[in-house]
Structure 1
Amino acid sequence: MISKSLFALVLSGMGLSSALAINKQIESGNLTVALIRAPPVNVPYPPPSSDWYGQMHDINATVDFGVKLIQRAALSGADFVAFPELWFPGYIDADPGPTDFLDNYFDQTITVNDTNWNKLVSAARKHSVWLEFGFAQHIKDNVFMGQALIDSKGDVIQVRQKLRPSGAERNIFSDGTIDQLLVHKTPFGRLGMLECWEHMHPTMTFAMHAQYENIHIAAFPWAPDLDVDSGVTRSEVSLAAARFYAITGSSHVFMPAVGTAAVFAPNGTLVASIQASEDPYETPILYHSINTTSFISSNQTYDTTEYSWAALQQVDRAYPAYIPKIANNSFIQHRQNSITEMRKFGPIV
């Protein structure tokens, strides 16, 4: 883990000028994406380390660090900067019951249009880069696994919430809504984004593939080195999900994650990667460029292929007749977790 003082040294070593504003446009036919892989401030490293040494999440310091990384990426020629899931202020594994650690996490969330949100949007505008970032989003009495897409002018293209938080995440984060599964027309092609295990669920991937993505951001929270056994969260599982998504969607998939980051071509080939064991403070960013001249920018869909409406009807017709077509009590219902209740009683199991 790195302390705030050491983070200051890391940032000062970047050789960045805070007064430098960049006004550039994406080169015709070329897109350079910067995948952030350094950890947020105070978050233990390497994953899946849980040695906090008395530290807690720090949203203000993490946003300032994130802004510096955006600047560094822009100075290195990036057109698009992608952060991991929940990078602001970092991922959380909470113990049962109310704790100071959990209370602090709720205090480190971001509300759209608050000071930290505006810092990130301003950084995209100042450095003329598109920006995707994962954040703990505070809305009224709930916290969501938010994911934002900002264009190079600082305009908000989309703010979505993870449709169905996975595993123990469901004990803290509330569910998003299915209408947020969108692909967007951009100057460099059709782009969409999902978070972590959303890439495992056909209810989420089918709708995205049907909208004909050229580029997909597959944001994962963290990924250790290969062969590090962390159960279903091991890197082999995350990389398999990103690779399979690239193949089934015929899209370029960029996977930012704290530690191991990767890029897959539409045929599933791993074209760029870096493992967690490589120093994240010397190499905090993985860069990869693609040629976009053949991409389709219109509102095209898979009208006649495996992700068409006709294919969806086939799924319905192929559903086994002996299994009831009802949403009974075993179906995972939409869930909203109250921050007020969690402050009193801890994560809601």
Structure 2
Amino acid sequence: MSHQPSSTVRVAVTQFEPAWLDLPKAVEKTCRLIREAAENGAKLVSFPECWIPGYPAWIWYVREYSCPSSISKNSLQADSAEMRRICQSAADHHIAVVLGFSENFKGSLYISQAIINAEGSIEVLRRKLKATHMERTMFGDASGSALQNVVELPDVGRVGTLACWEHTQPLLKYHTYHQRETIHVAAWPPLYEHDGGPGLYSMSKEGIATLRTASGVTMNTPGGGSSAIFGPDGRLVADGLPETEEGFIYAELQLDDILKAKGFLDVCGHYSRPDLLWLGVDKKEKTHVV
């Protein structure tokens, strides 16, 4: 008798302050939140862009201060004891994890994401296809493996992820759609509704003090949490907490709603014209020496 996946999945979205530029504390907090989400019945928990070791807000304005050595030393290596501890936490509590982190690979930094299954194995390890604007002063670009961003997870479904302004790239989004996502994790740094002024992003008092952004034109006031969960038709399923508060957002996702949405509009199915328009993809990882 074949196993029929559940039509309902409980998920958790984090709205918490990072452990700024402190890798050991960041790993400890990550594992604690993984445990808490699992204890509250979630099968999947997601973390924002550069959750470890916190988004480097100072890059968005020019001044004499920066902490490249601090973020480099406290960024997470994919093959490390710290990553193995996070994976073990996922396994111990039998919960899938989507983790955003600054990746240190041989001294260079990348905005990376990992999808870890409930047995503690990394199913997806990808980098942001193109670092955004001022992020390019610190982070490198990805290669072909970044396109492998969706995976089947038992008891959850097909989970995929993109980071921040990757969501503005139509071809990348179409390629993601075409991998038949059940759940999409859109990872962003702290972002709040625009107030009409010059500000874009914000964070906590501790983050402002640690990154010294108080005198900057952006990310200079407390706040900025805006986590939420949306259904396949764009409807808000679970609203966020107040922007200055930490906490989880939980939702019971009704997976059959996907069938309703696709029955109405399926841009990779009945509402597509591959005889006229199609996407070419090169998934090959490019290396420095051939």
TM-score, shorter chain, exceeding 0.5? yes
**RMSD between aligned alpha carbons?**
3.1
Aligned partners of 2:72 and 2:107 also within 8 Å: no
Q: How does 1:40-79 map to 2 (within 5 A)?
A: 40-42=18-20, 57-79=21-43
> Is residue 81 from structure 1 mapped to residue 81 from structure 2 by the alignment?
no
Q: Which has the larger radius of gyration?
A: 1
> Is residue 311 from structure 1 mapped to residue 289 from structure 2 by the alignment?
no
Match of 1:220 in 2: 188
Return the offset for 1:87. 0.2
Residues 209-254 of structure 1 show CA distances to partners (whole Å, capped at 9, x for unaligned) of: 1222221000111123x3545768469xxxxxxxxxxxxxxxxxxx
Q: How many positions carry a matched residue from both structures?
A: 249
Q: How does 1:168-179 map to 2 (within 5 A)?
A: 168-179=134-145
Q: Structure 1 294/38 Cα, relative in aligned 2: closer, same or farther at 3 Å?
A: closer
Q: How does 1:1-349 map to 2 (within 5 A)?
A: 28-42=6-20, 57-94=21-58, 101-182=67-148, 183-187=150-154, 188-224=156-192, 226-228=193-195, 233=200, 259-277=225-243, 279-280=245-246, 284-292=247-255, 302=268, 304-306=270-272, 308=274, 310-312=276-278
Q: Distance in 1 between matches of 2:82 and 2:50?
A: 14
Q: Unaligned 5+ residue runs, structure 1?
A: 1-25, 43-56, 236-256, 316-333, 337-349
Instruction: State TM-score, norm by structure 1.
Output: 0.64
Match of 1:53 in 2: none
Q: Distance in 2 between matches of 1:286 and 1:58?
A: 25
Amino acid paired to 1:198: E
Q: Distance in 1 between matches of 2:120 and 2:86?
A: 9
SS in 1 for 2:11: strand
Percent identity (aligned) = 26
Return the offset for 1:131. 0.4
Q: Unaligned 5+ residue runs, structure 2?
A: 203-222, 260-266, 281-285
Q: Distance in 1 between matches of 2:145 and 2:55?
A: 25
Return the offset for 1:177. 1.7
SS in 2 for 1:146: strand
Match of 2:209 in 1: none
Amino acid paired to 1:108: N
SS in 2 for 1:176: coil
Residues 61-81 of structure 1 show CA distances to partners (whole Å, capped at 9, x for unaligned) of: 111011111111111111101
Residues 15-60 of structure 1 show CA distances to partners (whole Å, capped at 9, x for unaligned) of: xxxxxxxxxxx98332111111111124xxxxxxxxxxxxxx1111
